[in-house]
């Protein structure tokens, strides 16, 4: 692409599915996926007719219905959310393909991501607008909602000049007006417009320094854990935090002087 600017526009869509999984819909999706009938029956029974009691000292309340879907802390949430959302994203891709809109959709548990790649910001915003409209409509049919407060838009650019992208206005279809930010955090990775990962490397070593300061409370020269144990603690608990996302920014021919210098200062 030479010196031309390249823009990649990403919109995160967080679907609030924890308490909204439809008990009657989930078994149908599992059957459609071709899973064993015993598995479908298990989830059908798991999601309906559940009750709980509350205990306080000697008091025990009467049973109450808790047919409110799957809790966020449930170990089954990642599996059920993937199965529940797969028809939504499959239908979305079919709609987008039919309309010849170039959008890629990926999802991690309840974090959905729509990706548009184009040299024109206005063109990419139009694609994201259509994608948001389609996904919003499909999620509504499945009894799900999009958490507007956790929906973001972010742009990547190779432009060397001032980069000031316009907002993505979704208000006409019931969404928010999204103003692009300087940095974007997704799954623990902190991105900036040029993918230098400087914000990422600034954040995690500082987090480690706070952890190391707390380690002083665990012992000194006369009592507490010994130096060898502190070394093990540092290697097991501090270094993994500092090096989180290392393969993302430390690759062949990537400029790493700034990143390694920050890590040296942390040592």
| Tens-digit pLDDT profile for residues 200-242 | 999 998 888 888 888 878 877 778 888 888 888 888 888 899 9
d(CA 10, CA 154): 5
Per-residue pLDDT, 174: 83
At residue 201, the pLDDT reads 92
Global pTM reads 0.73
Question: Is the confidence at residue 109, as pLDDT, over 80?
Answer: no
Model pLDDT, residue 20: 53
Tokens of 16: 């609030």
What the chain holds in terms of domains, given with CATH numbers, is 7-21+77-191 (3.30.70.1130), 25-65 (no CATH), 196-266 (no CATH)
- pLDDT tier at 30 (50, 70, 90 boundaries)? confident
Q: Residue 249 is encoded by which pair of tokens?
A: 């920014």
Residue spans of beta strands (DSSP E) within the chain = 7-16, 51-52, 55-56, 59-60, 64-65, 104-108, 111-118, 145-146, 152-156, 168-169, 177-178, 183-186, 189-192
183's tokens:
């940095």
Q: What is the mean pLDDT of residues 102-114?
A: 81
Q: What is the pLDDT of residues 179-203, one digit of tens each?
A: 888 888 888 899 888 888 999 999 9
């Amino acid at each position: 692409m030479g010196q031309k600017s390249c823009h990649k526009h990403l919109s995160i869509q967080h679907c609030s599915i924890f308490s909204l999984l439809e008990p009657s819909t989930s078994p149908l999706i599992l059957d459609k996926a071709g899973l064993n009938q015993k598995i479908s029956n298990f989830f059908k029974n798991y999601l309906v007719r559940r009750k709980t009691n509350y205990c306080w000292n000697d008091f025990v309340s009467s049973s109450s219905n808790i047919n409110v879907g799957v809790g966020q802390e449930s170990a089954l949430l990642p599996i059920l959310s993937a199965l529940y959302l797969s028809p939504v994203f499959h239908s979305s891709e079919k709609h987008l393909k039919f309309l010849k809109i170039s959008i890629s959709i990926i999802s991690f548990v309840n974090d959905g991501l729509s990706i548009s790649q184009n040299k024109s910001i206005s063109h990419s915003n139009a694609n994201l607008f259509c994608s948001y409209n389609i996904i919003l409509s499909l999620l509504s049919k499945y009894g799900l909602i999009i958490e507007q407060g956790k929906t973001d838009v972010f742009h990547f650019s190779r432009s060397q000049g001032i980069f000031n992208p316009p907002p993505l206005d979704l208000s006409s279809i019931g969404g928010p007006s999204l103003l692009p930010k300087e940095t974007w955090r997704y799954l623990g990775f902190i991105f900036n417009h040029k993918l230098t990962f400087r914000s990422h490397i600034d954040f995690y070593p500082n987090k480690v320094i706070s952890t190391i300061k707390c380690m002083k409370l665990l012992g000194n020269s006369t009592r507490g854990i010994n130096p060898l144990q502190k070394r093990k603690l540092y290697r097991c608990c501090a270094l993994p935090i500092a090096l989180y996302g290392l393969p993302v920014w430390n690759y062949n021919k990537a400029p790493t002087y700034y990143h390694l210098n920050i890590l040296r200062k942390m040592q």
